[in-house]
Chains A and B, each alone.
Chain A
Amino acid sequence: QVQLQESGPGLVKPSQTLSLTCTVSGGSISSGSYYWSWIRQPAGKGLEWIGRIYTSGSTNYNPSLKSRVTISVDTSKNQFSLKLSSVTAADTAVYYCARAGGVGATRYFFDYWGQGTLVTVSS
């Protein structure tokens, strides 16, 4: 059973960089064919996809955030990470990591999610 767990600072100052890590257990992040994504949800609002990284290391980002986002993978630690620069209060949200398949129609949905971590942007 695959499990995902987010970790990182719960409080980030405005203009600084938000950094989160997702640790994958129950399977190797580099085996098989999967897309590993970050998704966020402001309190009381809907879900917003941030970006993804493929098993091979290639990335796709939400155009609305692309200039500020970097997603990377560390296969030795079975983790992938999110960096979001120049944060403002509007970036305050619960951040989730999630997995989608890498082939065919399995690419179009997320079958495993982390429990989420709240990141607050405030001075």
Chain B
Amino acid sequence: SYELTQPPSVSVSPGQTASITCSGDKLGDKNVCWYQQKPGQSPVLVIYQDSKRPSGIPERFSGSNSGNTATLTISGTQAMDEADYYCQAWDSSTALYVFGTGTKVTVL
């Protein structure tokens, strides 16, 4: 089955840039999206179609996808960005939505 792998945790200082990777076989051939999930809350879409931001999502969130790796970048990270982040893709071979393993972002 298709798998998406993320680092368990990423630490970043306020105002600095956080980069979260998502790895999967030929992931660059798929549409990748990213969700932010704060404790006790539902996931919120922050990036779709690799690099597009939904309305209301701050410009400091950006995404890219190439080869076997997709990346979510948070520029000028703020304390409010502390959360779990999940990548997600659609695996057409199995008709299955696949989520990444999740990354906890800590703003120190």
Contacts and interface: CB of A to CB of B under 8 A. Distances in A.
A62 interface: yes
Interface residues of B, number: 26
Contacts of A37: 97
B49 A113 contact: no
Contacts of A110: 33, 35, 43, 45, 88
B15 interface: no
B100 A107 contact: no
A60 B95 CA distance: 7
A109 B96 contact: no
Nearest to B96: A62
B100 A46 contact: yes
Interface string A14-56: 0000000000000000000000010100000011110010000
B90 interface: yes
Interface of A: 37, 39, 46-49, 52, 60, 62-63, 96, 105, 107-111, 113-116
